[in-house]
Amino acid sequence: MTRRPAHAAVAAGILAASLIASKSPRDLVRRLRSLPPDASQELAVRRTVFDRRYFILLERARPQIPKGTMGIAVFPDGELPSRGKYLTIYEFAPLPTLVAPDHVPDGWLALVYGRRRPAGWRVVEELPYGALLEPTP
C-alpha cells in the first residue's frame, strides 16, 4: 500500500471514530434504527416508494418554473408522509418550498397535485397528475 491510500484510510478511520465517540451509544443506536427499511434500495426506487405519481409531478414541474420565481407552495392531494415532504423540498432546492401552507407568499407559484384548481389562481402549466399555478392579478 502506498502512502496516499494509507493516509486516506487512517484519516477516514479517525473521522469515523470521532463521529462515533461524539455521540452517545444510545443516540447512535436510535439513529441506526431510524433508517427506513428501503434505505438499501436505489435512490429512484426510494423516491417513488410512497407515491410514484407525485414523484413524476415534481420531476416534470421543476423545469417549468419560470426564472425569478421566489418560491413554490406545494399542495398535495391529502396527507403527505414526511418522506414526501423531504423529497419535495429536495427536488426544488435551492428554491424555497412550502408544503401545504396556509398562506402563499407574494411572488410564489403553487404546484397542485390532483385535479383541484383553487379559486384565485390560473394555470401556468398543466402537468401529469397536477398543475403549476400563479395568482390571478
pLDDT at 112: 95
How does pLDDT run across 2-25, given as a tens digit for each residue? 677 787 888 777 767 766 666 666
Q: Are 101 and 80 in contact (CB under 8 A)?
A: no
Residue 128 predicted with pLDDT over 80: yes
> How long is the chain?
137
**In the sheet where 130-135 sits, what is the strand order?**
97-99, 71-75, 108-113, 130-135, 121-127
Nearest to 62 by CA among 101, 94, 99, 91: 91
The domain spans of the chain are: 3-34, 43-135
With a threshold of 0.75, does the pTM exceed it? no
Mean pLDDT for the stretch of residues 25-36 = 60
Measured distance CA(102)–CA(125) in Å, rounded: 22
Question: Residues with Cβ < 8 Å from 14, sequence gap 6 or more?
Answer: none
Q: What are the pLDDT digits (tens) for 69-118? A: 999 999 988 777 777 888 889 899 999 999 988 899 999 999 999 998 88
